[in-house]
Amino acid sequence: MCGIAFLYDSELADGDARRRLDACMAAMWHRGPDAGGLSRSGAAWLGHRRLSIIDLGGSRQPMQDPDSRFTLSYNGEIYNYREVRQSLAQRWTFRTDGDTEVLLAGLVVEGIDFLSRLEGMWAFCLWDAEQRRALLCRDRMGKKPLFYHCRGPGLLAAASELPALRELVASGLTEDLDSTADILRYGHPLPGHTAWQQIKEVLPGHYLTWRPGEAAVEQPWWRLEPFRYGGTERDAARELETTLIEAVRRRMVADVEVGAFLSGGVDSSLICAIIRRHLELPLKTFTIGFDDLSFDEREYSRRIAHALDTRHFEQCLSLGNAPELERLLHAHVGQPLADPSLLPTALVSSVAAEQVKVALSGDGGDELFCGYQRYQARTVLRWYSRLPSGLRRLAEAAVRALPEPTAHHSRSLLKKAHLFLDVVGRERPDRPYVAPELLDPAQFEALAPALAGRGHLPPGIPAETEPDDIARMMAADALVYLPQDILVKVDRASMAHSLETRAPFLDSRLITLAFSLPRHWHRRGLAGKRMLRSAFGELLPPWIWQRRKQGFGVPVHAWFRGPLGDRLQDLAESDPDGPVDARALVRLLDEHRSQRQDHGLRLWALYAYLSWRGQRI
């Protein structure tokens, strides 16, 4: 995995451009400590930091074609590059053995249509010196990041991470208050946007073209377009089995050792089981735990590691790591992210990076196969909404009269009841589901009154093959929550430790298959991931399938009942001109500290935002 950069500034002297590129690449050293390079073509500069995974001694970047017309800086992996290379062999004389030259050759020979033949993850910039045109592109699901800044007719800057891009953009950045509203509402910006008005992100499945003197044009090269599956449920299970096994097989291709994250849940356990039992390969697995036992999954990861006979490594996260979470936000994410599991993801990545350079993960399994608890909550909400209003009020009053537990929801029925009432409070018939919301309308109005009614429009969600609100939630989660939260967290946390992560569930054929199946095949009643169990039920021990879903929860509630709560209050009170109302925040913090209600995740979102505001200049 790598870090890439591009700069074209017609008004910048060569020496200044070189200094900015050097600073940008230094800010991304962690993304590629094995090698680095710069290339200049007129006023266009391309930079690259390399984490060597395939063709270790070759495939240096930026890479040029034999005529030096095209220059490529590329971050990612193309898993089927060997098959694609064969189809290009009659039209290109290859000089290296990796996937970088395959991508370069395909783009030169076939153009943008070549991308539809690729299976992988990527972000790249291709400069055409003859046409003086830049081409920026991201993979289907947005696993690899690519931010850009376009100003006037003569400046385009792009980079893999926001802090690195800011080294190319000297000044003139202002906060995007519409993104601020989205961040406080959902915990992250919406696709294509960032916390800065002047910095955008290439959308997943899109490419952007730009020439000096012309406006940038962004277009899709891929869309999620489900079809109506024509086979039986048994047919689908067989197809799912072969497709996922092949997706895992492809992601084991590397010239270095490949390991896997293992939480003890269905998705990561399934990936590890395929590696051990279908591919029959040795495997190192990695997990972390917490001092708070209600959030600790090490017992389950040890059991499945023992059952699969993997070499297992683990580490425990203590509360003293909270400052490291803020460092990750500022140095690697570069904008607010209300997902505190960034820290345990970074820790498990650091453990893995001591043993391997690549790790497989189970990311995408919940979105594709209906695994999230919120889908269950939506099902329960249908039943609940049919109850008489008086009975609902009595039930809500009874639950709210009891203090909200701080244990993980998988260990506490009362905690689940409180979380369900939060869902009820956020439910608005006039507002379609975009992503999980942190605040109900009244809380948002109190905390950020100046942002009421603000926010970006979400990207288009494709029509489902059958009208179903849970099916729409799954599509929205795959196109919004997954690329804006989960994949951001995993990419920045893993690359902070120079570790490449690969996600077999994000195989393009698997995505299309999963979203083409009738939703009731995925979930009936309160049971999700039925198709995974139909296809792989015998591959994992029964207790894995019977476990209550836990997810990668973090005991953030305890942080804000200690010194971090004081710091949050100081941040709010020292920013009187900001959009967050300090008095409303203090009331929320007091309610949390009194243990009447657990606002840990809401407070973390406010903390991530306010600490970013304090360091954004």
Active site residues: 2
Q: What's the token pair of residue 594?
A: 């009194």
Please provide residue 251's backbone torsions phi and psi, each rounded to the nearest 5 degrees.
-80, 0
Which tokens sit at 228?
């109506």
Distance CA 552, CA 296 (A): 9
Q: Give dist(CA 92, CA 85) in Å, integer.
A: 9
Q: Is 425 exposed, middle or buried (0-12, 13-18, 19+ CB in 10 A)?
A: middle
User: Would you say 368 and 475 are in contact if contact means Cβ atoms under 8 Å apart?
Assistant: no
Using alpha carbons, select from 515, 468, 477 the residue that is nearest to residue 225.
515
Burial of 571 (0-12, 13-18, 19+ CB in 10 A): buried
Whether the upstream peptide bond of residue 62 has omega within 30° of 0, thus cis, is yes
Whose structure tokens read 């008086």? 390
Place of tokens 């690697």: 332
DSSP 294: G
Q: What letter does residue 597 receive in the DSSP assignment?
A: S
Tell me if 122 sits within 8 A of 139, measured CB to CB.
yes
Q: Give the span between the Cα atoms of 237 and 260, in whole angstroms.
A: 24
**Sheet containing 70-78, strands listed edge to edge, beginning at the edge strand earlier in sequence:** 63-64, 70-78, 120-128, 133-138, 206-210, 217-220
| Token output for 581 | 């109302």
Long-range contacts formed by 194-199: CB under 8 A, 24+ apart: 194/147, 194/162, 194/335, 195/335, 195/336, 195/612, 195/616, 196/162, 196/335, 197/173, 198/149, 198/151, 198/169, 198/172, 198/173, 198/174, 199/147, 199/148, 199/149, 199/162, 199/165, 199/169, 199/173
Structure tokens at 99: 């996937």
Spell out the residues 6+ positions from residue 68 whose beta carbon is closer than 8 angstroms to its own. 41, 129
Residues 6+ apart with CB under 8 A from 400: 418, 421
Residue 175 is given by DSSP the state B
Q: Is the dihedral of CA 315, 317, 320, 322 positive or negative?
A: positive
Q: Residue 557: in which H helix or E strand, if any?
A: helix 556-559
Beta bridge partners of residue 209, listed in sequence order: 135, 217
Cα 234 to its chain centre, rounded Å, is 32
- φ and ψ of 134, to 5 deg: -100, 140
